[in-house]
Each structure stands twice: as C-alpha cells, then as structure tokens.
Chain A
Amino acid sequence: MSNRELPLNAGLRTRRVNVEYLSRVEGEGALFIDVVDGELVDLQLRIFEPPRFFEALLAGRSFTEAADITSRICGICPVAYMMSAVQAMESMLGCHPSENIRRLRRLLYCAEWLESHLLHIYLLHAPDFLGFDDALTMAKTHAEAVKRGLRMKKAGNDLVRLIGGREIHPINIRVGGFYTTPRAQALREHLDELKWARDAAAETVRWTAAFEFPDLQRDYEFVALRHEQEYPLNEGRICSNRGLDIPSSEFLEHFGEHQVAHSSALHAVRKATETAYYVGPLARYNLNRDHLSKATRELAATVGFDRSVNNPFQSIVVRALEVHEAFTEALRLIEEYEEPEHPAATYTVGGGIAIAGTEAPRGVLFHRYEVDEDGLIRHADIIPPTSQNQRTIEEDLAELVGNNLSLPQRELTWRCEQAVRNYDPCISCATHFLTLERRDGTTG
C-alpha cells in the first residue's frame, strides 16, 4: 500500500479509495486511488494474482495440447481458450472442420457465454445495483430473481456439460472438432428448458434495465470481432468504431502490450495512438447489433436499448441481451442440428504460425503460436480480454472518482468496485504470469 500521508480533515476533495481485495471478480486484485485537493494523484487497479507462466510452459508442448493447457488459464471461460487454440492450429494446418462441427462449436460457445454471463449478472453484478454484499444475501429478499438466475445458469452449464463433457475444463474438444458428437435426441431433450430460459432471459433484460445506473458516458474505441452474417463468437474480422477492420492475423501489428509497475497483468493499447480501447459485451453489441436475431432486437427496443451503449454500468443490460441472444441461437442450432458425419476433421501434422481470435464472454481473446515441423510449440502469445480492458477500467475510475467526490466514503468505494465489476474482470486470465513489485519496493 502507498506510504503517502493524506492530510487529516481535508474534506471531500481529498480522498483515498483503498480496496485491498476486490471481491466478486475472478482472481486477485486490489484498487487504490488517491485524490488530493480534487486532483487525482494516484490510481491503480492492482493485480497481484501470482504468475503462472502459461506462455512459457507451452514451449515444447505438442500443438494438440494447447487447448487443454490454455483452458487452465481460466475456470470461467475455458471453452473460449480451447476454441481460440484449436482454431489457431487448424488455420495453420489448413484443416477445415465441417459445417456441422462449426455449428456445434457455436452452440458450445453460446452455452459458455450463458453460464459466464449469468454468473456475472445474477451472482456478481446485480448485488451492486440492489445494495447487497452477495447474491446469497440478496436471495433473502429477491428469492425469485436469484432462483431464476441460477436455473438459467444451469441451463447453460448443462449444455456445456453435454457437449464438452464437464462445465469446467471440458474434455471433448480437439484440433479438427470433437472426440464424440452428441446425438440429436440428447440435445433436443434440452429444448423445453431452453425455451423457458429464453423467456427468463427476456425477464432478466427487463429486470436489469430497471436498475438505477450511475452516470458515466465516455468516448470509447470499441473493438470486437465482426462476422458477415452472425453475431460474433468463433469467427470474424477485428473491427472498431473508429474504422479498424483487420483479419486476426494482423492483431499484433495494431495492438501492443505494456508492462506497468503496479500490475502483474500487461496493459494493452492501440499501437498507433497508444490509447486504451474497450472489448467485451458493449463493444460487440455496438458493432454487431444488426446481426442480432429479430427477437433480441425487438426486446432491446422495448427497454430503450436499440442504440449504442456508452455507459459501462449498463453493460449488465447488454449482457442480459446477449444471454437472450445466446438462448435464441442455442434453440435454433439445436433445432437445425445434424450430427456430424465424423466427429473431427483430419489433418497432416506440420508447423507454421497459428493465429486465432474469438469472442470470449469478456471480449476478444487472441492466441498466436509458432509451431515447428514436428508439431511442437516454440513460442506462444495469449492476449486475454481483461488485460486489454485494464487501462480502460482505470480511465473509467479516474473520471468516476472526479465526478463523485461528494459521495460519502463507503458509497464512493462501493461505486468504484462496481465500476471495476462492469467489466466482469477475469484477473486469473489477465495475469500473464508474474508478480511485480512497485518501484518503491512495496509489493504490488
């Protein structure tokens, strides 16, 4: 923690926000903000999650192992890691899974969005808007909502388990496709529950849209995948609202990572301008609203969300709309499902550069591997969404604190925590893998 002394009785314009252990986020982080005389003098979203060295330990492993190994970066969005990894390898090998495999992967990815988004909406974020420490406490007075959320989350998780084998670190994903593909009948057994869940998602949209949102509007550069026809999950070009439009293979030419002293996660910026950008539900929604189903677009209009959303506190509503879309899409994919003829496409082992970007629940997840002729990984780069959002979160906090110095200390602190949770930050993902010390020698 900072050793700086703040003047006593300095009034509301000299404030310290110090959250030593951020809760309701995945992983270990802290928040530290100092304002002296109305001027922001220090602001750190600190990440002290210990390093796990994933990029380094991938060196020397087979290209077939990247999916299983990288899934262990994150217990919340393992499918995202597995999808980015296998698709990167397939693009390198010239392996083309069948359309039916492509659709089954999309269904699996929808299911992961569901469990992840519903975890965040109901268990991690809604308690902020309603003033509870957690969802279990919230359940005492909002039992119906919490039960609805848990049941919807289960509907998503049940699909991940059926297709992937288990909810956390699924076992049924491989380069080329799957080990075993589900029978149509096994999927169809979920239809009734998914229909219930789609309606419950509409209820979730109305429920969250009625929350009171702190005012924060910023001019973000939103970055997300964009596909010709679909709301983006597994495929698409990387686009922004400021004219960026590139294939994933050019990602590293446009985005870079910087190391900062107070975080063990690297900060990503746009290379050309050295500026922050925004990935995740808001970015996807603002760039791809035209590809949502008619039902989700109409639902959005009923709550006044048929527009670009620039207030990060409203990300909870956008997540709910994405939940509605994912249930709608899952129903369509199951109704149209044909079991693939072969569970996996074949390929010949080879080397090269393997690149893929997909839309993890929290935003663009980029993987790049250098693989030798024997199929062994020589170098790996993984850029998860939360490290891309880190600088944007800090900029949000700077503006938020400046605008809210009149709030009592407890409310200001809670408001700042809530602003961090707008991004559903996954600190386990963002930590690339080291513990840092601050330059003054205290632990960061």
Chain B
Amino acid sequence: MASARLPTLAVFKFASCDGCQLSLLDCEEELLSIAQRLDIVNFPEASRRWEPGPYDIALVEGSITTIEDRQRISVVRKQSRVLVAIGACATAGGIQALRNSANVDAYARSVYPHPEYLSSLASSSPISAHVAVDYELHGCPIDKHQLLAVLLAFVEGRRPPIAQESVCMECKARGHSCVLVQGGEPCLGPITQAGCGALCPAYRRPCYGCFGVKEHARVEALMNHLQAHHGMGDDEVLRSLSTFNAGSELLIRIAERYRRPPPQDSEDS
C-alpha cells in the first residue's frame, strides 16, 4: 500500500441499521481525501479487504445484544488504540434497548416460530457498558460532519470537538423560532444533546430526541412542563423518552416513573 505508513482505520458493526457507518460513504466528495490520510484497512460494508489489528482508530457502530458480540467487542478494544463509539446504538443501546424493560421471551415468541434458538442477551447495551470508549458520537444517525471533524482531529493529533450543549443552543444560533414556546409543540430540544444542527425545528417539527439526552439535562422539569402545558399523559411521556436512545441509564431511570404497573396477564398478543 502507501509507502509512508498512514494511520489505520477499522470499522466494526454490532446490532444496528448500518446507517452510521454509511455516513462515512455518504461523505462522497471527502471520501477519497479521507482515504489519502487514513488507511481504511477494515470496512466490510465497503471492502473485501480485511487486515488483522492493531488499528490506530476504530469506529464502532451498534449495541451489544449477544454473548458472541460481548466477546467480540473486548477483542476489538484490545486491538484498537482509539475507540470511537458512533451513533445511538453504540452510545445508548439504540431502539432495540426497548427490550431492556420488556419481557424478552414474549418478544421472541411474538416474532419467531422457534424461539428455542434464541441466544440474545436480555438487554441491548452501549459499548461503554463493556469496554473503555475514548469518544462517543451521538445521534440516530450521527452527523457526518461531526464524524469528519473527529477523523480530521485524529489525523492532526488534536482532541476532537464534540458539542456538549443542548439542541436549543444550535436552534437559537440558527435563528429558528422556538417550537416549544412560540410553536406550542412538545419539543425535546432543551434536554437533547446538540450535534444535528437543530434539524427538526428547521422543518417546523419538534425535536424528538434522536441525539439522546444531554448530560445534566433537567429531564423531569421539561416533562412536568409538557404534562402541565401540552396535556401529555404518562404514557405519552414514557414513549417520548423511550426511543432511539432507550438504553441511556438516565432516561431509563426517569422513564420508570411514568410506567404503569404491568398487567397481570403478561401474554403478548
């Protein structure tokens, strides 16, 4: 390959939709220039090439849902100098983490005629629940510009810039009128991690939290507001907190307060 050794990049997939790693291919114009600065040695979605580690940087997509994957992620960690978890599945369990509060046997019975083959773990968990993670990129899906910024920072030896504020900050910066206050719509922007560029408000849609809850967010205060001023019931609040980042510890803890006790007959139709 290249004569001067480039840093190596490897992409690994766990339970996910492929969308976050697709962001790398969606870089289109920048893709060829990325390939000149990083040697993409493992990217099975895009290449037959497969080289053994160690790797300088690993992008890890998806959540851990099987015993095999729990073992595989620890191997990936050992092989990778820098491990970046990309997307809601890798950082917060993904929508498949909704199983964490459900009866997995009932799930299996309702989907498959032969649930006896099931070898899934009872939960879907983020990468950080299993191994040390160097950086996390939030979002369902991640923002490709954030991904590019992280890769660029890596090759230049800088710390990657990862926004820590809420969607509200981006929304204000873009000059949108407030969906929650002026629009009167139940917007999750105040508690949601920035990174999308306040996309939904730009389309006059309330934020639905796909970048996950921001650190130190006052989730309950917003939920109280939504219940008091937007007429949301407990089950609506519960659903709005239980989506693409359903494995987030903070959200699980808060969501539990809105959960009704399960019915006596747990048979799933």
Min CB distance A174 to B, Å, is 8
Contact assessment for B17 and A73 in the assembled complex, using a CB-CB cutoff below 8 Å: yes
Interface residues of A in 245-268 (CB under 8 A from B): 259, 261, 266
Determine if A146 is an interface residue (Cβ-Cβ < 8 Å). Answer: yes
Bound Cα distance A307, B208 (Å) = 47
Minimum C-beta distance from A364 to chain B (A) = 20
A78 and B111 contact, Cβ closer than 8 Å, known pairs A61-B239, A69-B95: no
- Cβ < 8 Å to B, chain A residues 75-89: 75-76, 78
How near does chain A come to B179, taking the closest CB pair, in angstroms? 10
Q: Is B68 an interface residue (CB 8 A)?
A: yes
Tell which of B65, B196, B203 has the most Cβ of chain A within 10 Å: B203
Task: Classify chain B: how many residues form its interface, as a range.
Answer: 35 or more
Contact for B140 among A150, A169, A379, CB less than 8 A: A169
> Among A119, A172, A180, A259, which residue has its beta carbon within 8 angstroms of that of B25?
A119
Query: A214 to chain B: closest CB distance in Å?
Result: 17
Q: 1/0 per residue A135-169: CB within 8 Å of B?
A: 11101000000110011011001000000011111
Cα–Cα distance between A119 and B243 once the two chains are bound (Å): 29
Determine the residue in chain A with the shortest Cβ distance to B69: A50
- What's the least CB distance linking A435 to chain B, in Å? 5
Q: Which of A51-59, A100-108, A185-193, A227-235 contacts B (4 or more CB under 8 A)?
A: A51-59
Let me know if A75 and B44 touch, CB within 8 A.
no
Question: By the criterion CB–CB under 8 Å, are B141 and A169 in contact?
Answer: yes
Decide: A157 near B28, CB < 8 A? Known: A57-B95, A165-B203, A437-B119. Answer: yes
Give every chain B residue within 8 A of A74 (Cβ-Cβ): 17-19
Interface pick from B47-55, B76-84, B159-167: B47-55
The reply on A403 being an interface residue by CB < 8 A is: no
* Residue of A28, A62, A153, A168 with most chain B CB atoms under a 10 A cut-off: A168
Are B20's CB and A75's CB within 8 A?
yes
Contacts of A147 in B (CB 8 A): 32
Residue of chain A at shortest CB distance from B21: A75
Shortest A113–chain B CB gap in Å is 15
A28-B13, A171-B200, A432-B111 known; A153+B28 contact, CB < 8 A: yes
Partner among B18, B112, B269 whose Cβ is within 8 Å of the Cβ of A259: B112
A259 touches B244 (CB 8 A): no
Per-residue contact bits, chain A 402-419, to B (CB 8 Å; 1 contact, 0 not): 000000000000000100
A136 touches which of B40, B141, B202 (Cβ 8 Å): B40
Complex CA gap A434/B111 in Å reads: 8
B203 touches A123 (CB 8 A): no
Q: Are A435 and B113 in contact (CB under 8 A)?
A: no
CB pair A136–B32 under 8 Å, yes or no, is yes
Q: Does B265 contact A (CB under 8 A)?
A: no
Cα–Cα, bound, A50→B73 (Å):
14
Cα–Cα, bound, A77→B95 (Å): 17
**A288 CB–B CB distance under 8 Å:** no
A76–B26 alpha-carbon span in the complex (Å): 10
Nearest opposing residue in chain A for B36, CB measure: A136
The segment out of A19-27, A202-210, A318-326, A330-338 that lies at the interface is A19-27
Asked whether A379 lies within 8 Å of B269 as measured between CB atoms, the reply is: yes
Min C-beta distance of B71 to chain A, whole Å: 11
The answer to the question of A443 belonging to the interface, with a C-beta cut-off of 8 Å to chain B, is yes
- CB < 8 Å A-B pair total: 207
Q: Which residues of A contact B257 (CB under 8 A)?
A: none
Q: Are A57 and B107 in contact (CB-based, < 8 A)?
A: yes
Q: Knowing A24-B46, A28-B13, A57-B98, say if A168 contacts B26 (CB, 8 Å).
A: yes
B95 touches A150 (CB 8 A): no
Query: Chain A contacts of B23 at CB under 8 A?
Result: 168
Q: Which of B52-76 contact A (CB under 8 A)?
A: 65-66, 68-69
B177 at the interface (CB under 8 A from A): no
- Residues of B near A259 (CB, < 8 A) are 112-114
> A435 to B120, alpha carbons, bound, how many Å?
6
Whether A150 lies near B113 (C-beta < 8 A) is no
B22 adjacent to chain A (CB < 8 Å):
yes
B204 at the interface (CB under 8 A from A): yes
A139-B200 contact in complex given A57-B99, A75-B20, A157-B26, C-beta closer than 8 Å: no
What residues of chain B lie closer than 8 Å to A25, measured between beta carbons?
A: 45
Minimum CB–CB distance from A372 to chain B (whole Å) comes to 11
Cβ-based interface call for A133 (8 A): yes
Query: Would you call A57 and B102 a contact (CB within 8 A)?
Result: yes
Q: In the complex, what residues of A have CB within 8 A of residue B15's CB?
A: 49-52
Answer whether residue B250 sits at the interface, using C-beta atoms and an 8 A cutoff: no
Neighbouring B residues of A52 by C-beta, 8 Å: 15, 65, 94-96, 124
The distance in angstroms between the C-alpha atoms of A437 and B25, with both chains bound, is: 33
Contact B48 A134 (CB under 8 A): yes
Q: Would you call B118 an interface residue if the criterion is a C-beta within 8 Å of the partner chain's C-beta atoms?
A: yes
CA distance in complex: A23, B42 (Å):
10
Q: Which of A23, A27, A178, A261 has the most CB of B within 10 A?
A: A23
- The reply on B174 being an interface residue by CB < 8 A is no
Asked if B91 CB lies within 8 Å of chain A CBs, one says no
Interface check B224, CB cutoff 8 A? no
CA A266 – CA B268 in complex, angstroms? 21
Determine the residue in chain B with the shortest Cβ distance to A158: B28
- Nearest CB in chain B to that of A55: its residue: B111
A57-B96, A169-B140 given. 7 additional CB < 8 A pairs? Answer: A53-B96, A56-B108, A75-B22, A119-B25, A167-B144, A168-B22, A434-B112
A-B pairs, 4 with minimum CB distance: A75-B19, A134-B47, A56-B107, A436-B117
Q: Which residues of A contact B (CB under 8 A)?
A: 21-28, 49-53, 55-57, 59, 61-62, 65, 68-69, 72-76, 78, 115, 119, 123-124, 127, 133-137, 139, 146-147, 150-151, 153-154, 157, 165-169, 171-172, 174, 178-180, 259, 261, 266, 378-379, 417, 426, 428, 432-437, 443-444
